[in-house]
Amino acid sequence: DAKTTQPNSMESNEEEPVHLPCNHSTISGTDYIHWYRQLPSQGPEYVIHGLTSNVNNRMASLAIAEDRKSSTLILHRATLRDAAVYYCILSITFGNEKLTFGTGTRLTIIP
């Protein structure tokens, strides 16, 4: 399975934008890029996903590099409730049963 690489931890100030990077240099042409987050003592929560084009939703934006070897999750205005572990995951095309969670990036928001 294609793997992803994320920084172990990041810090950001409250009410400022946050850019969370993810490298996936072995991505195949049909892999989707998913982002989930996990707040303390909760189950993972879907954030956003995309294939080739940049994506926006109410929670975040996903910027995908033209060669698809990296992507960036953008939180436009971080709040304390955004403090969580963020996972960048690739899903293979015949089923998302193969979602593989790495250790993710622990995001700390500074008031």
Partner 1 sequence: NAGVTQTPKFQVLKTGQSMTLQCAQDMNHEYMSWYRQDPGMGLRLIHYSVGAGITDQGEVPNGYNVSRSTTEDFPLRLLSAAPSQTSVYFCASSYTGGPAYEQYFGPGTRLTVT
Q: Residue numbers of the site for partner 1 (CB under 8 A)?
A: 30-32, 34, 36, 41-46, 49, 51, 87, 91-104
Strand partners, 72: 21, 63
Identify which of residues 70 and 91 has a Cβ nearer to partner 1 in the complex. 91
Cβ at position 28, least distance to partner 1 in Å: 11
Q: Would you call 7 helix, strand, or coil by DSSP?
A: coil
CA distance 37 to 35: 7
Give the pair of three-digit tokens for residue 87.
């996972």
Q: Minimum distance between the CB of residue 4 and partner 1, rounded to whole angstroms? A: 10
Q: Which two tokens stand for residue 104?
A: 């993710």
Query: Shortest distance, CB of residue 8 to partner 1, whole angstroms?
Result: 11
Q: Which is nearer to partner 1, 2 or 63 (CB)?
A: 2
Closer by beta carbon to partner 1, 43 or else 111? 43
**Pairing, β 9-13 against β 18-23:** unpaired
CA separation (Å) from 64 to 22, 23, 41, 74, 108?
10, 10, 30, 11, 23
Q: Which is nearer to partner 1, 33 or 78 (CB)?
A: 33
The minimum distance between CB 102 and partner 1, in angstroms, equals 5
